[in-house]
Amino acid sequence: EECDIGLIGLAVMGQNLSMNIASNGFKIGVFNRTYSKTVDTVEIAKKENLTIYGYKTLEELSKNLKKPRKVILLIKAGPAVDENINNILKYFEKGDIIIDGGNEWYLSSEKRIELCKEKNVEYIAMGVSGGELGARYGCSFMPGGSKYAYDCIKDILEKCSAKVGTSPCVTYIGSGSSGNYVKMIHNGIEYGDMQLIAESYFLMKHVLKYNNKKLSEVFKKWNEGILNSYLIEITYKILEKKDGLTENDLIDMIVDIAGAKGTGKWTMLESVERGIPCPTICAALDARNISSFMDLRTKTSSVFKTVIGAVPDNNTVTINDTIAKDIENDLLNALYCCKIISYTQGLFLLKKVSEEKKWNLNLGEIARIWRGGCIIRAVFLDRITNAYKNNKDLELLFLNEEFANEIKNKLPSLRKIINIATTHSVPIPAFSASLAYFQMITSKRLCLNMIQAQRDFFGSHTYKRLDKEGDYHTIWE
């Protein structure tokens, strides 16, 4: 059929992306291990007046692709991808292009890039964000790898991506596995954003004693200001939702144990491995992990009589409407402040890896393509793009003058919120971790002189002096 592009893997993402590609006027051929899903996809597409060409075998699909052949893989990350690439390489020739759109560990992609190089097949590892709806109606693409290959698929990606104004949410990320890495950081940042929002919800619920309706109104109002974003939007919508099975609101019926698919963990592994801290993301990941110990939490809560929202020592804290309004406002400031701090951490990791791997990442452009389609889409990202436009070598995001001034203005609110949360026994680990990071990374003197002294005391690890060059060791006793 001379298809413009092929797609392998017809789970929800693959099915939706193939419909998206077809609806943008491209001829697309698809293949799935289980043929019935191929048949389903062709049928579903037909109902929307779209033509998708389904093939029973990989060989058939390859034969029907225009040269250079292009195929997008959307299958379960890991060994299944290796298996499929090995099969594709049986049919692909020099200059043909493989695009892996899965959430793949970047080092696995690096191995595949080498494998494909041996056969002169071009490789793109591409982050895709936006979930099912994004895949169907426009998502954020983060393609990295062969620049030649990118130019060959640029038109398709631009048409299928989300648009902000007229700009498509796609750009060439950089060489190698940078597309996977950027998607991983995107997801890590997403963990941080989600946790900060969840903590804000919890604080207002347990300190201000707002009901879900009121909470929803607050988030809705926030969504009209500087925090305007997809995650704030879904939060107010979640808080509006009735259960349906009971008289309750749905949020109150949902078990407080959070799942994870691994990209947050990967971000942390990288952060630890490279010694570039991302404590806000770390707090978010830890929160999910702590949440999983339901039995232990139940047992220990009775030992310690933990009551979230309770003020110990029976200190009465009266919160009238005026005070509540103030706390609400401080919380908005604090949340925004932490968001800047969290993005600063994630982008710093990205910058350092980019330098080491010579990916030459354009962080402003990356913020731009996150502006639409993906989960962390937010108006706020425009300001990140501008910050890097002003200075592409900006070391830490919050060193940008505008962000720096905002942090200076909002920091008192953040401190207040952490005090209030502590007083009322409300754990807000992502807020706390963000403030601690900020205070340390912006402080000339830290407590680590004591660590060095201790290390020298018990292990003769030596220390440096403030006043003289060289390594010193002291006989401490």
Shortest Å, Cβ 100 to ligand 2AM: 12
Which of positions 67-126 make contact with ligand 2AM (CB under 6 A)?
75-76, 80, 83-84
Residues that contact ligand 2AM, how many (by CB under 6 A): 13
CA angle 326, 331, 333 (to 5 degrees): 100
Mutual orientation of helices 263-274 and 321-357 as an angle, nearest 10°? 60
Shortest Å, Cβ 90 to ligand 2AM: 14
DSSP state string for 170-212:
B----STTHHHHHHHHHHHHHHHHHHHHHHHHHHHHHTS---H
Question: Between 33 and 154, whose beta carbon lies closer to ligand 2AM?
Answer: 33
Phi, psi torsion values for 125, nearest 5 degrees: -100, 120
Binder of ligand 2AM out of 26, 33, 214, 297 (CB under 6 A): 33
- Rounded Cα distance between 175 and 109, Å, is 12
Shortest Å, Cβ 128 to ligand 2AM: 13
Query: Of 6-14, 57-65, 104-112, 123-131, which part binds ligand 2AM (CB under 6 A)?
Result: 6-14
Q: Tell me which residue of 134, 144, 196, 128 sits closest to 343, measured CA to CA.
A: 196
Shortest Å, Cβ 11 to ligand 2AM: 4
- Rounded Cα distance between 2 and 88, Å, is 17
Question: Between 34 and 316, whose beta carbon lies closer to ligand 2AM?
Answer: 34
Question: Between 11 and 294, whose beta carbon lies closer to ligand 2AM?
Answer: 11
CA angle 199, 372, 201 (to 5 degrees): 10
Q: Are 361 and 351 in contact (CB under 8 A)?
A: yes
Indicate the Cα dihedral angle 51, 58, 95, 76, nearest 10°.
90
Show the site string, 36-55: x = touches ligand 2AM by CB under 6 A, - = not.
-x------------------
Q: How far is residue 56 from each of residues 37, 43, 59, measured CA to CA in Å? A: 11, 15, 9
Q: Is 10 in the site for ligand 2AM (CB under 6 A)?
A: yes
Shortest Å, Cβ 12 to ligand 2AM: 8
Q: Is 15 in the site for ligand 2AM (CB under 6 A)?
A: no
Mutual orientation of helices 321-357 and 212-222 as an angle, nearest 10°? 50
User: Which residue numbers are catalytic?
Assistant: 183, 190
Question: Between 103 and 200, whose beta carbon lies closer to ligand 2AM?
Answer: 103
Counts of helices then strands in the chain (DSSP H, E): 19, 11
Which of positions 240-269 make contact with ligand 2AM (CB under 6 A)?
none
Shortest Å, Cβ 9 to ligand 2AM: 4
- Rounded Cα distance between 448 and 244, Å, is 55
Question: Between 80 and 276, whose beta carbon lies closer to ligand 2AM?
Answer: 80
Query: Of 3-11, 129-137, 140-148, 200-208, which part binds ligand 2AM (CB under 6 A)?
Result: 3-11
Cα end-to-end distance, the chain, whole Å: 84
Shortest Å, Cβ 83 to ligand 2AM: 5
Q: Is 11 in the site for ligand 2AM (CB under 6 A)?
A: yes
Question: Between 32 and 385, whose beta carbon lies closer to ligand 2AM?
Answer: 32
* Cis peptide bond prior to 277, omega within 30° of 0: no
Q: Are 125 and 146 in contact (CB under 8 A)?
A: no
Contact residues toward ligand 2AM (CB under 6 A) are: 9-11, 14, 32-34, 37, 75-76, 80, 83-84
